Amino acid sequence: MWALRRASFPLRNRVFHVRVPYVKLTPNTCVEDHAGISVSPQLAYGNGGFSSPNRCFHSGLGSSRCEFSSQAGTKDDDDLEDGFSELETPLGYESEKLLDSDSEHSDDAEVPHNELELSHDEDELVTVKKSSQKRVLSELFKDIMDAPGLSVRTALDKWVEEGKELSREEISLTMANLRRRKMYGRALQLSEWLESKKHLEFVDSDYASRLDLIAKLRGLHAAEGFIESIPESFRGEIVYRTLLANCVVLNNLHKAEEIFNKMKDLEFPVTAFACNQLLFLYKRNDKKKIADVLLIMEHENVKPSPLTFKILIDAKGQSKDIAGMDQIVEKMKGEGIEPDIQTNAVLVGHYISAGLDDKAKALLKKMEGEDLRENRWVCRTLLPLYANLGMADEVGRVWKVCETHPRIEDCFAAIEAWGKLKKIDEAEAVFEMMSKKWKLTPKNCSVLLKVYANHKMLVKAKDLVKRMVDSGCRLGPLTWDALVKLYVQAGEVEKADTVLQKAIQQSKAKPLFSSYLTILLQYAKRGDIHNSEKIFYKMKQAGYASRPRQYQVLIEAYINAKVPAYGIRDRLKGDNISPNRTLANMLVQVDGFKKSPASDLLD
């Protein structure tokens, strides 16, 4: 099954202690080996940056136990901290979940694109695709929305009093309607009412659904506490994997590893779903540990899913290992899995970044198929990719295919593409056509706002925001993010800060991570410690887990101010962050107790 195992990447300079009772995969520091060769479990990870030459593994092939430690290895690449280049925007930052959007999110409210949702039907974390077909609204959902205030119970009691059927199908559709609009508070009320009134015989997937809602609304600690209230017979793998997926959404590496180990302790089978969650996290935070997950998958005989391959392809591409990336593609095909459009788009993006334009163009043509008109749904993917290549003629050709009967996603892609090509008039023309065809919404406007932000067109952006307000649009995270970037680019950092703080006060919606980081970067450059610490605190307060990147920017403020950062190491330890090489070098510069050669002489 694992043909691409050790042939291309021979095993060398790896230390293995074999113990029969259990497998313990806890990386430790060993003698550095610059060969960069991995044992290549399953997918032969080596030379491209996922090898673990400087680690020891205690492994026993009769594995009844697999453990992970969150001790991070050193990384040279700063971009490993950012984690913004995600396959599915998973856990993405343009698609960060909102804390509680009941008062914000209707069809007219702004919802970040491509949010990942947990699928209990498939063993994957999948992207919710925006269907071009009109979604069905349940009658129960309509009654809930018509109920005064936010009381779901009133609408539900009335529904039952009127003798209407409360079937599982109706409930499932209502839940889907609420979740799509990020109305997690109402969805949770519905779940609690159903159990308290005994209108639904709860099964493990129902409890998992509620746990997911609790995690979104109240955090991981509350979700963990809820597990204790679930009848023991229903505390199955689906419940714990739901908690694991929420750890991934919050980028909480330590907690994710803890839950993964807990699932092993409970003797749940290791699944591709669980392993994919760790792969997502390690792709973003510590690529060297990807090999550890693959080793576990081999020991547990877990077959990689299509998503596994997508993650590995993207990780190789991020590490600039194009040859390794292509090898993963061949392995994927060898397993009988053809790369889908999304995977091919990732490949094209990495080819472009590597300067391999010819390979990118060839793959784009393959994605088009024999007749693009028969594959119109691919247009929205092709448009920004051709724009990345600077091919305005190709963007125009693809847009003409869908211009006569465009879907809204096609318009989004066209505006983005023309913006990348600096053709603002064309982008505005698509926007105006879209505005005539569909109601003006914050989500629609955010695409053009982003174009204005990227080209420092503050006046045009202000005019568009005024138009949004006059049309009755509710402003949300994407709009705020565009405004923040526009003010920062105009040199008005304080104004950007004020806009963000006012937005937080006026709405329960959660600003994007990038909005905070944009302001934090500017304060750090100035050496403004007070405001840097304020934004750093606001990020934590909003629910964003501290990561090395935030600390790097914060410490930069202390370096530029030429002031020691007392207690910073303890803060890192408290957030369970092991400094990488870049961060370690920065810490030395702000160490208040460091002695200089001159002070040693004076002492």
**What does the pLDDT look like over 106-129, one tens digit per residue?**
333 343 333 333 433 333 333 333
pLDDT over 60 (residue 98): no
- Rounded Cα gap, residues 297 and 41, in angstroms: 8
For residue range 436-491, what is the model confidence (pLDDT) as tens digits? 999 888 888 999 999 999 999 999 999 999 999 898 888 888 889 989 999 998 88
Task: Spell out the residues 6+ positions from residue 58 whose beta carbon is closer than 8 angstroms to its own.
Answer: 16, 17, 19, 23, 24, 25, 26
Mean pLDDT of 214-221: 90
Mean pLDDT of 74-85: 32
Mean pLDDT of 405-422: 96
Mean pLDDT of 255-274: 95
- Rounded Cα gap, residues 389 and 472, in angstroms: 38
Q: What percent of the chain has pLDDT over 70?
A: 75
In this prediction the pTM is: 0.73
The amino acid present at 157, given as its one-letter code, is D
Residue with more model confidence, 519 or 47:
519
Mean pLDDT is lowest, of 18-32, 194-208, 341-355, 428-442, for 18-32
Interior CA angle at 544 toward 487 and 507, to 5°?
60
Q: 452-463: b or e for each residue (b if 16 or more CB lie within 10 Å)?
A: bbbbebbebbee
For residue range 575-589, what is the model confidence (pLDDT) as tens digits? 878 787 888 899 999
For residue range 385-397, what is the model confidence (pLDDT) as tens digits? 999 999 999 999 9
Encoded tokens for 336: 């009988």
Please answer whether residues 241 and 271 qualify as being in contact, where contact means their C-beta atoms are separated by less than 8 angstroms: yes
- 584 sits in the region (left: phi over 0; alpha: psi -120 to 50; else beta) called alpha
pLDDT over 60 (residue 4): no
For residue range 127-170, what is the model confidence (pLDDT) as tens digits? 333 333 346 888 999 999 888 766 789 999 999 999 998 899 99
For residue range 279-302, what is the model confidence (pLDDT) as tens digits? 999 998 889 999 999 999 999 999
pLDDT of 36? 27
Q: How many CB atoms lie within 10 A of CB 449?
A: 25
Q: What confidence tier does 341 reach under pLDDT thresholds 50, 70, 90?
A: very high
Domain ranges within the chain, ordered by starting residue: 528-603
